[in-house]
Structure 1
Amino acid sequence: MTMLFKPVVFRPLPRPVRPFPNETLSSYWGRLGAANHVLVEHVRLLSPWRTGLTSDTTKRTDELEILSGEPERSLTLALPELRWNEQGFASLPERNSYLRQWACRLCAAAKFPGQPIQVWALAHHTQVCTRHGLWIGKAVSQPQDQRDLEQLPGTVNAQLRHRRLLRRYGPDLISLAHHAARPFWRSLAGRYYTLAESDPTRLLQPRGSRTGWSPDL
């Protein structure tokens, strides 16, 4: 039986898109589609002439290079998933030590206005954007939830000290210290405090009973 021949054109998209540092692959695909006014599932529909029987583009940096107009080196440096798949350790601890979270909305806006971006960050170690003084970690479900820490300079300084400890001792030892201190922070979070939704200048305000929110690092 002869199959109907339906060629699919494979060519660069008209508007190239630069990746954001440590951006997730799904976030980059979404921005690439949005910039070219194409649904992301259509952007990823590549020619069978090039992909053969598979459409797993996470392992095909060359195809993403053609679509995006970005050089392979730039893509590999900026998109961790390309490196993880190429090096074959997608299921090893190095990969599992990262979590998806929203990039600082001000950092994203400086490079790509109006485009929210998700990035890979070291699990539990990136809670604050020290450049803009925004809380970007725990309890942030969308970029608009990132709170201004102008009234809490000690929190920004704590993130800076945390980075120094990471460079000196590495994430494994620091993670152990976090787990050891967890009971203490849980006890503080249970002292009738919760997130203040009505007053953006205060992150915490007293409320009569323990809530589910806690700095569970």
Structure 2
Amino acid sequence: MEEAAPRPVGLEPVPGESTGSFVRRLARLNDAPVADVLREAGVRGRAQELDPFRHEVFLHERAVDRLAVMAWQTPQDLRRALPTLEVPAGCSGRQLIRVSAWAPQWTVLEPCALCLARRDDVVAPVLLASKERWQVCTRHGRWLRDASGGGPSQVCLAELEPVVRAHRRWVRLRQRVGPYARALLADAVQVSACWWQSRQMGAENVWAERERVLGVERQLWSVPLVVFPEAVVVAEAMAVYERQRRWGRDFDNGAPGWVSRHWITFVGERLGMPDGMEQGGYRMLREWTLLHRITAPVVARLAQQPPPPGYLSQRLEPMQPHRALRERGALEDASCLEWRLGQAVTGLE
């Protein structure tokens, strides 16, 4: 009597895992070549070589169904866990699977090492398909980042609790504001990074202390982490400004004009850095307000209907200069500010 074929071993995906990483782990758990898993999912002919660090696997809906059966998961479970399944696969009924190089809008990250330590199915390196160049694991207090440009791929935040708290605040801001929040955070990070580079605001005390904890000194790779808590505060203040601009109102009912001095003072107070704001920190914020000015004539603004009750807590529709929102990729590319970290800080008066 012939022995029955061994039953396939199922696999639960890591939240945020790339499809290529998941396929490779499923193959390893079942002691099978990756090519066999791809053929079972729907590849016709010779399966393409798969390097999850360089390539991603995009699946037609029918291929998602087949992969779910092999992994003992539901297609819905896979779609919730694997981010690139949300992206149009560019496949058809004849080509159910496409393996292609990663697009620049995606970043391959290593997941939190402490999260993975709780699992017993990590038979091959797990890779995340991230829409951002960095993430924060709030459960274990770790900063996950793209290490291709130097620096570590993970940073312990045990002594940098303000970063973890700021990430939670950022998540709440994104829920309240909607997709437009990402553009505001991008602008806020650019402003904060400019302050760091020009040694203004918290560069000599708050940020220098965080750099001491990290064991670095003035390293470009660490800037998004070092300034993140203050960048979230600035993004929150930008959301207040934009909610009022949406209804043709200057901040705190101030006098009409391109620059709201009252708002800039408000930001300095929220940061706990009023002196630094007066001594030069205002310049980058003024650049931002020039791009986000109210263009409607005062007469037209006065004739507008008043905003509805609760408008300060409603979601924000994108406004100029952010009509086209970038949902993933380098955060700086979503900013309306032309200045970039590492360039000369010029033209700010």
User: TM over 0.5, yes or no?
Assistant: yes
Deviation at 1:214, TM superposition (A): 3.9
- Does structure 2 conserve the Cα–Cα contact (< 8 Å) formed by 1:12 and 1:67? no
Deviation at 1:15, TM superposition (A): 0.7
Compared CA separation, residues 26 and 186, structure 1 to 2 (3 A): farther
Flag structure 2 segments of 5+ consecutive residues without an equivalent: 48-56, 92-102, 225-330, 332-349
What is the alpha-carbon distance in structure 1 between the residues aligned to residue 25 and residue 31 of structure 2?
10
What is the alpha-carbon distance in structure 2 between the residues aligned to residue 14 and residue 179 of structure 1?
49
- Does structure 2 conserve the Cα–Cα contact (< 8 Å) formed by 1:13 and 1:36? no
What is the alpha-carbon distance in structure 2 between the residues aligned to residue 172 and residue 38 of structure 1?
44
Q: How does 1:117-132 map to 2 (within 5 A)?
A: 117-124=126-133, 126-132=134-140
Q: How does 1:92-171 map to 2 (within 5 A)?
A: 98-112=106-120, 114-115=122-123, 116-124=125-133, 126-139=134-147, 145-169=153-177, 170-171=181-182
Deviation at 1:86, TM superposition (A): 6.1
Q: Which residue of 2 aligns with 1:204?
A: 215
Report whether the alignment pairs 1:178 with 2:189: yes
What is the alpha-carbon distance in structure 2 between the residues aligned to residue 22 and residue 31 of structure 1?
14
> For residues 51-76 of structure 1, what are the alpha-carbon distances to aligned partners after superposition, in whole Å with 9 as ceiling and x for unaligned?
55796762221221232222212112
Report whether the alignment pairs 1:32 with 2:26: yes
What is the alpha-carbon distance in structure 2 between the residues aligned to residue 87 and residue 77 of structure 1?
20
Aligned residues: 187
CA RMSD of aligned residues (A): 3.9
Identity over aligned pairs, percent: 27
- Does structure 1 conserve the Cα–Cα contact (< 8 Å) formed by 2:145 and 2:153? no
Tell which structure's C-alpha radius of gyration is larger.
Answer: 2
- Does structure 2 conserve the Cα–Cα contact (< 8 Å) formed by 1:62 and 1:72? yes
Q: Which residue of 1 aligns with 2:83?
A: 80
Residue 44 of structure 1 is aligned with which of 34, 38, 42? Answer: 38
What is the alpha-carbon distance in structure 1 between the residues aligned to residue 74 and residue 170 of structure 2?
34
> For residues 71-120 of structure 1, what are the alpha-carbon distances to aligned partners after superposition, in whole Å with 9 as ceiling and x for unaligned?
212112212222222699xxxxxx97653322211122223454542223
- Does structure 1 conserve the Cα–Cα contact (< 8 Å) formed by 2:157 and 2:163? yes
> For residues 32-56 of structure 1, what are the alpha-carbon distances to aligned partners after superposition, in whole Å with 9 as ceiling and x for unaligned?
1121122323322338xx6557967
What is the alpha-carbon distance in structure 1 between the residues aligned to residue 198 and residue 146 of structure 2?
17
> For residues 166-205 of structure 1, what are the alpha-carbon distances to aligned partners after superposition, in whole Å with 9 as ceiling and x for unaligned?
22233232223223333223446x98x8x99xxxx94124
AA partner of residue 63 (structure 1): R
TM-score of the aligned structures, taking structure 1 as reference length = 0.66
Flag structure 1 segments of 5+ consecutive residues without an equivalent: 1-10, 89-94
